[in-house]
A and B are shown apart, each in its own frame.
Chain A
């Protein structure tokens, strides 16, 4: 059976992909570690199930632009590796004395920017997570429109926004707190990177995209070991993780399999289409764990998570916040109630004369999250690319057979091991799914406002002291990217219920402006968080809260506040945007939501059933 599958793979690839020229040996053990194998890059067959106007017009040049930026930082990382002093392993237990931290960090960085970690060698992790965006989505037009980023097989795409890397290693292993009735920790919007095996949610997070069918789309985790064994930085991997850590005998057809995107019909249903011996499979699994740990170490390093925001300097005794910014902080802790979930390590002076009784243990480095999950009641975003991928791509793979019957139940779907998520490794948690439907991870506020220096804000319509327009960088916020500016974000918290209308996006009543005085109904109404929705903030108070959030951008330098110290913040080579207003930012690309079918049975009719069900 296995042989026939591989034969089919080879034959089909020859037809579908054309000549794929190998100049390396089949066995990784025989591959020279000194140079990249000379592989001709294959142009993936196009998949475009989208109606006109869903994909941004500049998508191809923007993909090329980000890839150039990724390749540039990869070369930078190679130089950093080569500049490291010779390693010395000593002590008991053996330790890379002096250089261990740097070696693991640089190794993780190389991996993060390595485009070879995808079937068509065109997607690195960083493609969706660039430094100048706080390690979130780097393409303004994608952030404005299709929400999810196109994967190695263009234009498959996921369903949610790219979460920021910053401080993600500091999220604990997912756990259910019996006393609180809460899930805490994990990585991803839906918490599916639990961290249960590696005891690091962030490390396990980095194991999902490489084999996510709509992202890197490698068909087998062993493909990472194969590509690592071919990489120019293989000696560094072996230095850190052991000289035989990549000594795996890969069958001849392995490169052909790894050059086929996951989900391809020719690969069959197996999660491990590369036929390795049990011993080599174990080694490949270990290499994949080491991939995860190395990347997580990079993400925890000061190159990604440096604690250098204006707020951090204030905590450390160098307060530089303006009176307006401090007023925003007061609102964050008080009337805005933001720190009920986005814990700031401080107490709240809600009323004059009230004593600060804060006792948080992590006062010194608050992470501005509770690591929890909440359903904020965001409207369904009809521009989300996932809704349109209901037909097979050239490899026979269909990302979302439900079409607009798809609903994002977030943590609830993960607890049911549902479609588009991952297997839940703890069956005792499944019973809690109905209470978690619609809940998505509470992100850290840190770096929500980070942008490239040449586009120094996320907000449209800003002007400098001389009245000159300030160019902005278009980001997207929350799990489905419905919100396009921080002003809108705060306004949503403030007025979600005040301006609620029983319509879907694109159908606000005449005379009402969506996101200003009309909020469409939630995609998932179950378990809605009622802490927010009618905060009674004024327009000016909303603006002050935006200032407070922007103060959490890393790279602040009190000695030279106009120049960011954040590593690689200057790598953006695209164009900024101008004009418009933060309140209506992105409204020009709103489209009417089509009539929605009920939530698909494959999502909402899975036990334990949502309550209430059907989800309205």
Chain B
């Protein structure tokens, strides 16, 4: 037998075994997009330090890409929400609801900020939901506010 042919055949045989993998099917296409996305809870301040706040809200599961982004548009003037922050979360396809949480950093202590929130798929496509303008205040230097989970 031609030794080269034998080697090539063995390579192909074992190689195909090694690359054949039924669990690849666990990599799923994006989930079906929800017909309508609504905020069911919040948005509200989850916690805040003097220079950082986390804003939290819940929607029905928006579907679409597994990676999603919560977006907070904010500013000290309710009519000029010129700053924005976004944070990535991962959808749980089997959960009926999705919690978005966004880190807003670079804030000033003892300052009131106004904000509204929205969310997007990983490619920036909007989920088509937007909150009314809300507000939060940062604590003083070295202080912190913990609003969730609530403490007795």
Interface residues of A (CB under 8 A from B): 89, 92-96, 100, 104, 169-170, 172, 177, 179-182, 184-185, 198-200, 203, 240-245, 290, 293, 296-297, 300, 333-334, 337, 339-341, 343, 345-348, 350-351, 354, 357-358, 360-362, 365-367, 370-372, 374, 497-498, 500, 502, 525, 527-531, 533-534, 536, 616
Are A93 and B47 in contact (CB-based, < 8 A)? no
User: Which residues of the partner chain A approach B11 to less than 8 Å between Cβ atoms?
Assistant: 241, 290
Please tell me which one of the listed residues A179, A360, A527 contacts residue B65 in the complex, with CB atoms under 8 A apart.
A179
Interface flag for B89 (CB, 8 Å): yes
Asked if B35 lies at the interface with its beta carbon under 8 angstroms from chain A, I say no
Q: Is the CB of B122 within 8 A of A497?
A: no
Q: Is B49 an interface residue (CB 8 A)?
A: yes
Q: Does B132 contact A (CB under 8 A)?
A: no
* Contact among B3, B94, B121 for A243, CB-based, below 8 A: B3
Rounded to whole angstroms, the CA-CA distance of A244 and B149 in the bound complex is 67
Indicate if the CB atoms of B95 and A370 lie closer than 8 Å. Answer: no
Contact of B13 with A498 in the complex, beta carbons under 8 Å: no
Contact A340 B92 (CB under 8 A): yes
Assess whether A497 is in contact with B47, with CB atoms less than 8 Å apart.
yes
Beyond contacts A361-B25, A529-B89: 17 other A-B pairs, Cβ-Cβ < 8 A, are: A179-B65, A181-B122, A182-B67, A184-B27, A242-B7, A290-B11, A300-B18, A334-B95, A337-B92, A350-B94, A354-B96, A362-B26, A370-B26, A370-B66, A374-B90, A497-B54, A534-B148
B103 interfacial by beta-carbon distance below 8 Å? yes
Q: Are A367 and B26 in contact (CB under 8 A)?
A: yes
B26 with A94: CB separation less than 8 A: no
Residue in B10, B18, B66, B123 whose beta carbon sits within 8 Å of that of A297 in the complex: B18
Chain B residues closer than 8 Å to A245, beta-carbon distance? 7
Identify A339's interface contact among B6, B29, B46, B94, CB under 8 A.
B94
Q: How far is the CA of A333 from the CA of B95 in the complex (A)?
A: 9
Given A93-B9, A169-B18, A534-B101, A528:B87 Cβ within 8 A: yes
The 5 A-B residue pairs with the shortest CB-CB distance, nearest first, are A242-B7, A181-B122, A93-B9, A340-B92, A348-B94
- Contact between chains at B122 and A182 (CB < 8 Å): yes
Q: Are B88 and A530 in contact (CB under 8 A)?
A: yes
CA distance A23 to B76 in the complex (A): 79
Q: A181-B65, A371-B27 are in contact. Are A358 and B94 (CB under 8 A)?
A: yes
Contact A179 B29 (CB under 8 A): yes
Return the chain A residue nearest B5 by Cβ.
Answer: A94
What chain B residues lie within 8 Å of A96 (beta carbons)? 10
Query: In the bound complex, how far is the Cα of B18 from the Cα of A170, in angstroms?
Result: 9
A498 pairs with B18, CB closer than 8 A: no
B18 near A293: Cβ-Cβ < 8 Å:
yes
Contacts of A357 in B (CB 8 A): 94
Complex Cα–Cα for A33 and B94 (A): 57
Interface 1/0 per residue, B52-71 and A, CB below 8 Å = 10101000000001110010
By secondary structure, the A interface counts as loop
* Given A242-B10, A244-B3, A333-B94; A170-B23 close (CB under 8 Å): yes
Across the interface, A529 reaches (CB within 8 A) one of B3, B13, B49, B88, namely B88
With A243-B3, A361-B26, A366-B26 in contact, do A536 and B13 touch (Cβ < 8 Å)? no
Query: Whole-angstrom distance between the alpha carbons of A531 and B12 in the complex?
Result: 43
| Contact indicator A169/B21 (Cβ below 8 Å) | yes
B21–A180 CB distance below 8 A: no
Interface centre among B1, B18, B103 (most CB of A within 10 A): B18
**Residue in A337, A354, A358, A371 whose Cβ sees the most chain B Cβ within 10 Å:** A337
B66 touching A180, Cβ below 8 Å? yes
A172 touches B123 (CB 8 A): no
In the complex formed, the residue of A with least CB distance to B50 is A502
User: What residue of chain B has the Cβ atom nearest to residue A175's Cβ?
Assistant: B27
Give, as a whole number of angstroms, the nearest-CB distance from B96 to chain A: 6
Closest to B46 in A: A534
Contact A172 B27 (CB under 8 A): yes
Given A180-B122, A242-B6, A498-B146, A529 and B90 contact (CB-CB distance below 8 Å): yes
Q: Which residues of B contact A92 (CB under 8 A)?
A: 9
> Could you tell me the distance between the alpha carbons of A181 and B102 in the complex, rounded to whole angstroms?
19
B23 with A341: CB separation less than 8 A:
no
A181 to B96, CA, bound (A): 22
Asked whether, in the complex, the Cβ of A93 is within 8 Å of the Cβ of B23, the reply is no
B101 near A530: Cβ-Cβ < 8 Å: yes
Given A245-B7, A339-B92, A534-B148, decide whether A362 and B122 contact each other with a Cβ distance below 8 A: no
- What residues of B have a CB within 8 angstroms of the CB of A185 in the complex? 27
Is B26's CB under 8 angstroms from A343's CB? yes
Which residues 63-108 of B have a CB within 8 angstroms of A? 65-67, 70, 87-97, 99-103, 105
Closest to B96 in A: A350
Question: B149 near A203 (CB under 8 angstroms)?
Answer: no
Pair A350/B95 contact, Cβ less than 8 Å? yes
Are A530 and B30 within 8 A (Cβ)? no
Task: Report B66 CB to chain A, min CB distance, Å.
Answer: 6
Q: How far is the CA of A199 from the CA of B66 in the complex (A)?
A: 25
Minimum C-beta distance from B140 to chain A (A) = 14
Other-chain contact of B21, A172, A241, A528, A529 (Cβ < 8 Å): A172
- Least CB distance from A207 to B in Å reads 14
> What A residues does B96 contact at CB under 8 A?
350-351, 354
- Nearest B residue to A442, CB-CB: B90
A351 to B122, CA, bound (A): 28
B6 to A89, Cβ gap below 8 A?
Answer: yes
Q: Is the CB of B92 within 8 A of A367?
A: no
A431 to B88 Cα, complex, angstroms: 18
- Contact between A200 and B94 (Cβ–Cβ < 8 Å)? no
B25 contacts which of A300, A351, A362 (Cβ < 8 Å)?
A: A362
The answer to whether B95 and A337 touch across the interface, beta carbons within 8 angstroms, is yes
Contacts of A104 in B (CB 8 A): 14
Closest B residue to A181 by CB, please name it.
B122
Q: Contact between A536 and B148 (Cβ–Cβ < 8 Å)? A: yes
Chain A residues whose CB sits within 8 angstroms of the CB of B47 once the complex forms: 497-498, 534
| Contact (A93, B13) CB under 8 Å given A169-B21, A365-B23, A498-B47 | yes
Residue in A241, A242, A296 whose Cβ sees the most chain B Cβ within 10 Å: A242
| Contact, CB under 8 Å: A180 / B65 | yes
Q: Which of chain A's residues have a CB closer than 8 A to the CB of B56? A: 534
Q: Per a CB cutoff under 8 Å, which of B10, B26, B105 touches A360? A: B26
Q: B135 to chain A: closest CB distance in Å?
A: 21
Nearest B-chain residue to A178, judged by Cβ: B123
Q: For residue B24, which residue of chain A has the nearest CB?
A: A172
